[in-house]
Structure 1
Amino acid sequence: MSTLPVEEPGEVPLRRQPTQRRSARRVERMLDACADLLDEIGYEALSTTRIAERAGVAIGSVYQFFPDKRAITQAVTRRHVERFMSRIGRRFLSEDYGGWWDAVDAIIDEYVEMHRTVPGFRVLHFGDVVDLHLLDGVSDNNTVIAGRLRGLLLKEYGLADSEEFDLAIMVAVEAGDAVLKLAFRHDPDGAPQIVAEAKRLIRGYLNRQFAGAAG
């Protein structure tokens, strides 16, 4: 039986959902402003006042939707997760891979590309910088990501679902996360040789776990 969460991350903790297009655009501006400020000043210096000023909205508009800066940061992190998964999904649809090992490389490439180009991602990653449970009140952030990736790999490559599979994906995500963070500590664009080692490490580990698996 699977031990990883299979559900999508929960709803963003908005005080109220925007019901009009204008309100939805205003919320997106707040999230964009938060992401930009995270890159510029970091989480500790972030404030709802600064977010409101950068987004060009009244502070009252911020509090209509978010109780505090943590909630806005949580919403940005969830947006990162959705973008990450949708970008991987598009790659899986548009590119032909020799097997699951090439898909794993593509997942790492997407992580590196988002780290380089998506505002707020290099500061937040998937939320662990702020709170290990930012994405889910029960599971830690990497477990949520592992669950999402597990679903993609099962769907695309027909690997056998099991607790052993879950454990292997969880270990691969934790190991990859640690080594890729090391890559970006050594180079703001991600040290290529360390990124390559991350791929080699994860591929070798999963190959031992999935020897003879589909794909």
Structure 2
Amino acid sequence: MQQPTPQPTPLRRAPVQQRSAQRLARILDACAELLEETGYEDLSTRAVAGRADVPIGSVYRFFPNKRAMAEALARRNLDAYADRITARLTAPDAVSGWRAAMDVVVDEYLAMKRTVPGFALVEFTVPAPRESRRANYEVADRLLALLAAPLGLNAAGERLRTAFLVGVETADALLQLAFRTDPAGDPAIVAECKLLLRAYLARYLDPPGEGGVD
């Protein structure tokens, strides 16, 4: 499988003190709010600074431009997504089995799509031509790493990594369709997405003899 090119951090410098980390969080919160209101094309570092109530220099301290700022927001979204899945899978009443875990993966994405400011435009990557996007490689590897221990999977297996990437790309396309059809996410398409993922991944995640492959 073709490997994604490692992406450099979008931050010019990482915050060291708590006060600096809080300022960075305010900047990203403001970026998300303005994306929700105006879209990516009209986003500006000056507008973000005004919304976050910080000097424009504070924005440039962290980011050279709006693209880097949106990339940092996308990475924060991915971290939050991973945290939400982990919380669901480690809760006292956690679901069991890979099929239920895949439902959690889809449901937490839907919850963020519906409630997190700016997520509709900047999910796990900045707006870009689809053929140039690399975020789904990172999403697939992150999901495999999260699910490997609870499901007893070999996260280093190249075939399984490919299967997760195909699953993520497929779910991405179907869920984008669901939200084009219905602003809240067409429940019929969401249901079909879950069925498709279960049918495809059964080949890799079910034990041999129960539908899985050796």
* 2:180 corresponds to: 185
| Cα displacement (A) at 1:131 | 6.7
Q: Deviations 1:58-97 (Å, cap 9, x if unpaired)?
A: 1122111111001110110000000000110011101432
Q: 1:69 aligns with which of 41, 44, 66?
A: 66
- Corresponding position of 1:102: 100
1:18-167 → structure 2 map (5 Å cutoff): 18-94=15-91, 95-127=93-125, 129-130=127-128, 140-161=134-155, 162-167=157-162
Q: Deviations over 1:110-148 (max 9, x none)?
A: 0000000111111112115247699xxxx8110000001
Structure 2 residue runs without a partner (length 5+): none
User: Partners in 1 of 2:206 and 2:160 — Cα distance?
Assistant: 12
- Over 3 Å counting, the alpha-carbon distance change for 1:189 and 1:125 in structure 2 is same
1:204-215 equivalences in 2 (<5 Å): 204-212=199-207
Structure scoring higher RCO (CA < 8 A, sep ≥ 6) equals: 1
My pick for the range that moved more, 121-130 or 53-62, is 121-130
Runs of 4+ in 1 over 3 A off after TM superposition: 2-5, 9-12, 130-134
Residues 64 and 168 (structure 1 numbering): CA distance in 2 closer, same or farther, change over 3 Å? same
Look up the SS of the partner of 1:125 in the other structure.
coil
Query: Shift in Å at residue 202 of structure 1?
Result: 0.5
In 2: Cα distance, 1:90 partner to 1:165 partner:
24
Q: CA RMSD of the aligned region, Å?
A: 2.4
Distance 1:153-1:17 versus aligned 2 partners, 3 A rule: closer
Q: TM-score, normalised by structure 2?
A: 0.87
Please, which of 164, 169, 175 is the counterpart of residue 170 of structure 2?
A: 175
Secondary structure of the corresponding residue to residue 124 of structure 2? coil
Residue 22 of structure 1, CA deviation? 2.1
Secondary structure at 1:22 match in 2: helix
- For residues 193-212 of structure 1, give each alpha carbon's deviation from its aligned partner in whole angstroms, at most 9, with x where no partner exists: 11111101111111133332
The count of corresponding residues between Structure 1 and Structure 2 is 206
SS of the equivalent of 1:121 reads coil
CA contact (8 A) 2:124 2:135 kept: yes
Paired residue type of 1:97: V
Deviation at 1:4, TM superposition (A): 6.6
1:105: Cα distance to partner? Answer: 0.5
In 2, are the aligned partners of 1:4 and 1:166 still within 8 Å (CA)?
Answer: no
- Structure 1 residue runs of 5 or longer lacking an equivalent are none
Secondary structure in 1 matching 2:48: helix
Asked whether the equivalents of residues 35 and 119 of structure 1 are also in contact (C-alpha less than 8 Å), the reply is yes
Residues 63 and 132 (structure 1 numbering): CA distance in 2 closer, same or farther, change over 3 Å? farther
1:60 counterpart letter in structure 2: G
| Alignment TM-score, normalising by the size of structure 1 | 0.87
- The alpha carbon displacement at 1:102 in A equals 0.5
User: Which is worse superposed, 205-214 or 28-37?
Assistant: 205-214
Contact persistence 2:70–2:126 (CA under 8 A):
no
Query: Identity of aligned pairs, percent?
Result: 47
Match of residue 12 from structure 2: 15
